[in-house]
A = this chain, B = another copy of it.
């Protein structure tokens, strides 16, 4: 029987070199929260950690639609972001918030489809 399959979620991996605010926990948390809001996602909890003066921060927002994370390395002038969203969330809006706020000199983005949902027909054995 025919069926259509669609991804269950989309996972964007963003790499920022030359971004600002990499040592600022409140700034990084605000980026995560604002990106979640822009995506239309629901925050279940925000969990942040600062590695100390001169070092980076790491944080995750757990979402009803999966999660977003940021890890920063000021010593390498680098921030790694991932955004995993399912449902009708607006991934592009989240990416735009993060890109705008970090003001990075170099940014790259990979978007990877995750999982497979079958919309109609019987599941194959």
- Looking at the assembled complex, report how far the CB atom of A42 sits from the nearest CB atom of chain B, in whole angstroms: 11
**B115 and A8 within 8 A (CB):** no
Which B residues are in CB contact (< 8 Å) with A49? 44-45, 62, 64
What copy number does this chain have within its complex? Answer: 2
Q: A76's contact among B17, B51, B78, B117, by CB below 8 Å, is which?
A: B117
**B71 and A69 within 8 A (CB):** no
**B45 and A8 within 8 A (CB):** no
Which B residues are in CB contact (< 8 Å) with A9? 71, 80
Dominant SS among interface residues on chain A: strand
Instruction: Using known A-B contacts A13-B11, A78-B115, A115-B15, determine if residue A84 contacts B62 with beta carbons closer than 8 Å.
Output: no
Q: Please give 19 more A-B residue pairs, beta carbons under 8 A apart, in addition to A9-B71, A58-B66, A76-B116.
A: A11-B82, A13-B112, A45-B47, A45-B49, A49-B64, A58-B62, A58-B67, A66-B71, A69-B69, A69-B84, A73-B117, A76-B115, A76-B118, A78-B115, A78-B116, A78-B117, A80-B84, A82-B84, A110-B112
Chain A residues engaging chain B, CB cutoff 8 angstroms = 8-9, 11, 13, 15, 17, 44-45, 47, 49, 51, 58-60, 62-64, 66-67, 69, 71, 73, 76, 78, 80, 82, 84, 86, 110, 112, 114-118
